[in-house]
Every structure is written in structure tokens, then in C-alpha cells.
């Protein structure tokens, strides 16, 4: 029998990209399709080294358009296929992602955000928040996990495959260049031993039996003649998404019970925010934090519950209000004033958050 990629549980110290490659292996991913872009490259580098040892496959495509559509093909054929990209590559993949959204094709995609617009930097940012949540011509019927640590990169990459195949929505792990490139200690493990059950991948094409003889052929389309025909399909998608949203939503809160200033951040920025809240509490300042882990579906009720109790809110992000728009939409009607600490494409420190909160007192 083939050896499991990870036996038991291991303490490791590795980069985020290496972590993702191990997680995809552990999640029984069959094939990766990808195109080089910094800071995503090492996901492919580790995957191409590890995959053949475990009978997994890789295809380097001619561009991200192709990487997205080959991933769609791999998933349609019933394999656990995934891709990873960043920035301009994320832009090019949106066409295939809207197809996946429409046709319930459970593709998994890891996004390692870089600074934009355009080519910009290859380092870090949270400027792909809107794109990842709502890119493509569609309604944003996607699951987006925004991770903050290497442990989460490992856990949520595994989870993404299960979420995708269970609900059949395209599922994203939204990281960034810092998470990709820095090293951090974490535990990697064999998901089977943790009791994580894998939702089986099911073929949407090329199933048992001869079409037209043993069974009807499968005809998959995403083209419609009538407005009403399309509306019905999209309505169904939206309703299905809304129905399972409460099950999928995840968030993390800290010191919210009596907090006066509620600081909201996602992804790696939330680490600075949580550090700042600890420091502020030591100084006797009643700050608390809320971090949406799923940006789609957004944990609306939970943010509202906290926002309504607070005196002021501060949104902190490495983008110019992309999280703010999600938050404002989620708590529409709530009277709590909302301020922003926006640093598009720049990192944010604990001290800066502390200062910004003090400025609101």
C-alpha cells in the first residue's frame, strides 16, 4: 500500500507555501494545475517534488486562464483538483471561476495575495478581497476562508476540499505573500487519524455506463435562452448558498463581551489587531476584536451582534476599504460609527492599531 504523505502528527517549521503543498497532499488532492507567479510559486515547487512520490499529478499550463479551466476539467472528471495563484493571475482565473460558480464545480483555489493594482508588488496585501469574493460575472456564490497563520493554512486547505465537495461551491483559501514566504511553527498531521472524513469526489462527466445505451447522456451547459430560465437557475444557486451559509460561516472574537471599541480585521492583519487588543486591555482600555474567517459567506449576524454593543468600530486592513464594504453591508442599519485604518499593500503593526484605537477614545 502507498505510504501516507504524513504519518501521525509532526511539529514542523516551514513556509506557508510548503504548508499548502503538504495540506493538499494530506487532503488527497489528485492533481494541481498552475502557472508561475510570485508569491505563489513554491506551492508548485513543493507540489512537483512531493506529488510523484504519492501518485499525484501536476500540469504547468500556458497561463492562468488555462490553469483555471484545466482545473475545471479535472474537477468535472471527478478528481480533487486545485490551483493556486495571485494578483493578475487571480484576475485571469475569474472567467473559469464564474463557470465553476454557475455549474457547481467544486474547485479549490489558493490565493496568495500580492500588492496591486496591476503588477505592483509581489509581497503582500489584502487587495484581492473583493476580487476573490465577487470576481467574475456572477453573484459571488463562493466560499472564501481568510487564513492568519500557517496552522490555519494547513487546516483550512484541508477543509477547503471538503467544503468544496460537500456543498459544491468554488472554495478559496485566501492567504498573502507574508504567509506564503515566512516560516512558522505548526503541526501537520494525517487527517484520517484526526477523524476528518473526506467527502468523496464525484464525476460530473465520464460516469459508469454508455451514454444513450445504459443511461442518459450527461449534458452540462451554462447557456440559456430565456431570462426566466436563467433567473430560476441563479435563484436556486443563491437560495442554496444562503441555506447552508450559517453552517459554513466561521469567525473569531476576542474580548468582545464588554468592549467599547470593536476592531475588525481579517487574515494576517487580524494578528496585529489581536495583539493590539491585548495591549490595550493591559492599559485598561476596553477594546475587542472580531475576525471573519469566512469572507464568503460573511458571518453577518455575529458581526452585527458585536457591532451593536460597541461604541465605535475600527476596520483595519491592508486595502482601501474592501473589508469595510463587506462589514458595512453586513451590518447595514447599525448606528455604531465605523472608522478605518487602511494601508493598501502595506503591513500594519500592533503599535499602529493601538494608536488608532486610542485616537477613537
Partner 1 sequence: MSIQPQMPRLWRRETKPHKFCPGCGHPLILKALAEAIDELGIADRTIFGCDIGCSLLSWDFFNLDTVQTHHGRTTPVMVGIKRARPELICIAYMGDGGGYAIGSQHLVNSAVRNENIMAVLANNTVYAMTGGQMAPTTMPDQKTETSPYGRNVKEAGNPTQGPEMVAAIASQDAYVARGTISKLGQLKNFFKKGLKNQMEGKGFSFIEALSACPTNWRTNAEETWNFIEKDMTKYYTVGEIKAPVQDKEG
Binding site for partner 1 (CB under 8 A): 30-31, 33, 57, 59, 61-63, 65-66, 69-74, 76-79, 81, 95-96, 99, 203-207, 209-213, 217-223
79: its cell numbers? 478528481
Q: Where are the alpha helices (DSSP H) in 249-360?
A: 269-282, 300-309, 322-330, 350-358
Pairing state between β 261-264 and 312-317? parallel
Q: Report the residue number, 20 or 72, with the smaller CB distance to partner 1.
A: 72
What is the smallest separation between the CB atom of 28 and partner 1, expressed in angstroms? Answer: 14
What is the smallest separation between the CB atom of 142 and partner 1, expressed in angstroms? Answer: 17
What is the smallest separation between the CB atom of 59 and partner 1, expressed in angstroms? Answer: 5
**To 10 degrees, the CA torsion angle through 166, 168, 169, 171?**
50
Q: Report the residue number, 99 or 357, with the smaller CB distance to partner 1.
A: 99
Q: Report the residue number, 213 or 226, with the smaller CB distance to partner 1.
A: 213
Residues 220, 337: Cα–Cα separation, whole Å? 48
Asked whether 129 and 322 are in contact (CB, 8 A), the reply is yes
What is the smallest separation between the CB atom of 43 and partner 1, expressed in angstroms? Answer: 18
Q: Report the residue number, 71 or 157, with the smaller CB distance to partner 1.
A: 71
Asked whether 27 and 47 are in contact (CB, 8 A), the reply is no
Q: Report the residue number, 217 or 284, with the smaller CB distance to partner 1.
A: 217
72: its cell numbers? 475545471
HEC string of 90-155? HHHHHHHHHHHHHHCCCCEEEEEECCCCCCCCCCCCCCCHHHHHHCCCCCCCCEEEECCCHHHHHH
What is the smallest separation between the CB atom of 30 and partner 1, expressed in angstroms? Answer: 6
Amino acid at each position: 500500500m502507498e505510504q501516507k504523505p504524513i504519518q501521525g502528527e509532526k511539529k514542523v517549521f516551514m513556509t506557508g507555501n510548503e504548508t499548502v503543498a503538504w495540506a493538499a497532499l494530506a487532503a488527497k488532492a489528485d492533481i494541481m494545475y498552475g502557472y508561475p507567479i510570485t508569491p505563489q510559486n513554491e506551492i508548485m515547487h513543493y507540489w512537483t517534488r512531493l506529488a510523484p512520490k504519492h501518485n499525484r499529478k501536476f500540469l504547468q499550463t500556458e497561463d492562468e486562464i488555462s490553469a483555471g479551466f484545466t482545473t475545471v476539467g479535472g474537477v468535472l472528471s471527478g478528481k480533487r483538483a486545485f490551483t493556486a495563484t495571485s494578483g493578475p493571475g487571480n484576475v485571469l482565473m475569474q472567467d473559469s471561476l464564474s463557470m465553476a460558480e454557475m455549474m457547481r464545480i467544486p474547485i479549490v483555489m489558493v490565493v496568495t495575495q500580492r500588492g496591486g493594482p496591476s503588477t505592483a508588488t509581489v509581497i503582500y496585501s489584502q487587495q484581492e478581497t473583493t476580487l476573490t469574493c465577487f470576481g467574475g460575472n456572477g453573484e459571488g456564490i463562493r466560499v472564501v476562508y481568510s487564513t492568519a497563520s500557517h496552522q490555519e493554512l494547513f487546516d483550512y486547505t484541508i477543509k477547503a476540499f471538503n467544503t468544496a465537495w460537500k456543498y459544491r461551491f468554488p472554495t478559496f483559501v485566501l492567504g498573502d505573500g507574508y504567509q506564503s514566504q515566512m516560516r512558522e511553527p505548526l503541526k501537520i498531521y494525517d487527517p484520517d487519524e484526526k477523524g476528518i472524513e473526506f467527502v468523496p469526489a464525484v464525476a460530473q462527466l465520464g460516469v459508469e455506463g454508455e451514454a444513450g445505451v445504459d443511461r442518459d447522456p450527461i449534458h452540462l451547459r451554462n447557456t440559456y435562452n430565456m431570462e426566466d430560465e436563467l433567473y430560476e437557475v441563479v435563484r436556486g444557486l443563491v437560495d442554496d448558498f444562503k441555506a447552508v451559509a450559517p453552517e459554513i460561516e466561521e469567525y473569531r472574537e476576542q474580548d468582545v463581551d464588554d468592549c467599547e471599541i470593536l476592531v475588525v480585521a481579517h487574515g494576517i492583519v487580524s494578528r496585529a489587531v489581536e495583539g493590539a487588543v491585548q495591549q490595550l486591555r493591559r492599559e485598561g482600555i476596553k477594546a475587542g476584536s472580531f475576525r471573519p474567517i469566512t469572507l464568503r459567506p460573511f458571518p453577518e449576524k455575529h458581526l452585527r451582534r458585536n457591532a451593536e454593543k460597541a461604541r465605535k468600530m475600527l476596520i483595519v486592513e491592508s486595502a482601501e476599504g474592501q473589508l469595510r464594504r463587506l462589514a458595512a453591508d453586513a451590518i447595514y442599519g447599525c448606528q455604531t460609527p465605523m472608522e478605518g485604518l487602511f494601508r493598501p499593500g502595506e503591513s500594519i503593526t500592533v503599535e499602529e492599531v493601538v494608536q488608532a484605537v486610542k485616537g477613537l477614545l
